[in-house]
Amino acid sequence: MTTAILEMRKITKTFPGVKALENVNLRVQEGEIHALIGENGAGKSTLMKVLSGVYPHGTYEGDILFKDEVCEFKDIKQSENKGIVIIHQELALVPQLTIAENIFLGNEQARRGIINWNETIVRTRELLQLVGLNESPNTPIAEIGVGKQQLVEIAKAISKQVKLLILDEPTAALNEDDSENLLNLLLEFKKQGITSVLISHKLNEITRVADSITILRDGKSIETLDMKKDNVTEDRIIKGMVGRELTNRYPEHTPRLGDLFFEVNNWNVYHPVLADRKVIDNCSFEVRRGEIVGIAGLMGSGRTELAMSLFGQSYGRRISGEIRKDGKQLHLKSITQAIKEGIAYVTEDRKEYGLILNEDIKRNTTLAAMNKISKWFVINDNQEIIVAEDFRKKLNIKAPSILQKTGNLSGGNQQKVVLSKWIFSGPDLLILDEPTRGIDVGAKYEIYSIINELADSGKGILMISSELPELLGMCDRIYVMSEGRFTGEIERENATQEALMRLMTKSRGKIQDEHHN
């Protein structure tokens, strides 16, 4: 009979105006992969922060038992000393430091106060190989994307003597291949006797690797399912999460395509640091009013770099090419100019670039278009309140009031605030970069509905996503990128995951050969 490595009993955690957890129970068996799932705001991350000491003993009610010992962690260091290591959804890396320095920050490979850099580099290479990240240990964190940064976080976590590994949305920023490598890594850890708690909204991952599942809903533990005994399916999990059947993952939508209004021709972008490295190579595409256009590609294909370079040249150097809107050529040298010309960009990293987390919903909602609620540089507070309250209702943002800090909201509700901000700016073209990353199925459906409504109002949507089913379920047309180039364009009726993957994995050499032939 297996024994429990962890028991959390009647955990209750309250924030001002919000009861995040109410009498939650969690029991994790030693050596298993235990999935913790629920909608955004269900309390998953809060529960794990209680466990790891981020929320110290005394700030919550209930008991924690680890290996039958009552634990009262005052900080994260105490929980790590017991072998409990958590990888948070919010990345905690120092951009200016290298990968090696970040991995061993606070856990330096040193003797008598002197760091052994040879040992640090060798150990870092081993860890990077383990997580499937092909980067130099000396690469600064600022020079790699959010997906690779997540892998560095995982390498940092497994560098410690871990007995219970907690992963909060570890594959949210990863492509399919990297996600697969990580899941295989968890299974390998399991063979080595390491217990894992996996928080994920990707149900196919849960059903593949989890031994048991605990479902949270509205801050309460609903049930724990044994994957083998209870014949668990994705539909069964969804019903537990949302309290109802969710038969269609994507809302039905009939596109109302208008005139061609946005064109990009022969777009080229060079790396901001490596002067000779061409990141975007001669890309051209177009968007019609009312059209949802997808961009598919593996990590490193240049999707985000393309979007950011178009948005007021917020990425890259030596940018060349042509942008036309309604036949008029645009020269967008800044984000302010892009916004004035009716272009909005919802970033893939909402916490770092999309929101001011210590500001409230009200201020974040109006941030991109403050001229609309101000006169002579003075903000009209009443008007700002009306605007923010209107978006809170329209987008169903779950918060006690518009004065709630966005940092205290769930991922799904934070994303709705970001969407509110850019919708309020009144764009004609809305660029969505991973719009549902780290969001549960219920909140995804709501955001898909918002996207469809925006398209129906005549706006053009450019949608980047690592989830191929999402692109297939939402887009009228899909462009595919590989190594900084477009390798194909597929209409909705001809689009399949296989066709997209074939174009996503096409190398630059093959593209050039086909061009010459």
Read off the pLDDT of residues 243-300 as tens digits, 9 standing for 90 and up: 766 567 888 899 999 999 999 999 999 999 888 889 999 999 999 999 999 999 876 7
What gap in Å lies between CA 63 and CA 80, rounded to an integer? 18
What pLDDT does 452 receive? 95
- Taking the CA atoms of 63, 67, 73 and 76 in sequence, report the sign of the dihedral they define: negative
User: Which two tokens mark 224?
Assistant: 């724990």
pLDDT at 314 exceeding the cut of 50 = yes
Alpha-carbon dihedral 506, 508, 512, 513, rounded to 10 degrees: -50
What gap in Å lies between CA 381 and CA 392, rounded to an integer? 16
Give the CA angle between residues 132, 280, 336 to the nearest 5°: 110
What gap in Å lies between CA 339 and CA 424, rounded to an integer? 11
pTM for the complete prediction?
0.63
In sequence order, which ranges of 192-333 are alpha helices (DSSP H)?
203-209, 234-242, 303-310
Select from 54, 52, 51, 155 the least CA-distant residue to 105: 155
Two domains, one topology: 4-242 and 259-342+428-452+460-517: yes
133 falls in which pLDDT band (50, 70, 90)? confident
Q: Quote the percentage of the chain above a pLDDT of 70.
A: 95
What gap in Å lies between CA 340 and CA 355, rounded to an integer? 20
What pLDDT does 179 receive? 78
β-pairing, 69-70 vs 61-66, is: antiparallel
DSSP symbol at 359 = S
pLDDT at 389 exceeding the cut of 60 = yes
pLDDT at 515 exceeding the cut of 60 = no
Q: Which fold has domain 4-242?
A: Rossmann fold (3.40.50)
User: Which two tokens mark 185?
Assistant: 């890594």
What pLDDT does 246 receive? 59
Please tell me which residue, 291 or 14, carries the higher pLDDT value: 291
516 falls in which pLDDT band (50, 70, 90)? very low
Please tell me which residue, 483 or 89, carries the higher pLDDT value: 483
What pLDDT does 171 receive? 77
Q: 466 to each of 173, 264, 513, how far by Cα in Å?
A: 8, 22, 27
pLDDT digits (tens, 9 = 90+) for 34-65: 999 887 678 888 899 999 999 999 999 999 99
166 falls in which pLDDT band (50, 70, 90)? very high
What pLDDT does 137 receive? 94
Q: Quote the percentage of the chain above a pLDDT of 90.
A: 49
Question: Domain boundaries in the chain?
Answer: 4-242, 259-342+428-452+460-517, 351-426
Average model confidence (pLDDT) across the chain: 87
Residues 165-174, mean pLDDT to the nearest whole number: 80
What pLDDT does 486 receive? 95
What gap in Å lies between CA 463 and CA 433, rounded to an integer? 6
What pLDDT does 475 receive? 96
410 falls in which pLDDT band (50, 70, 90)? confident
Q: Could you tell me which CATH class the domain 259-342+428-452+460-517 is placed in?
A: alpha beta
How crowded is residue 349: how many other Cβ atoms within 10 Å of its Cβ? 18
H/E stretch holding 121 reads helix 117-131
Please name the residue that has the structure tokens 């006690």: 400
Give the CA angle between residues 308, 317, 511 to the nearest 5°: 75
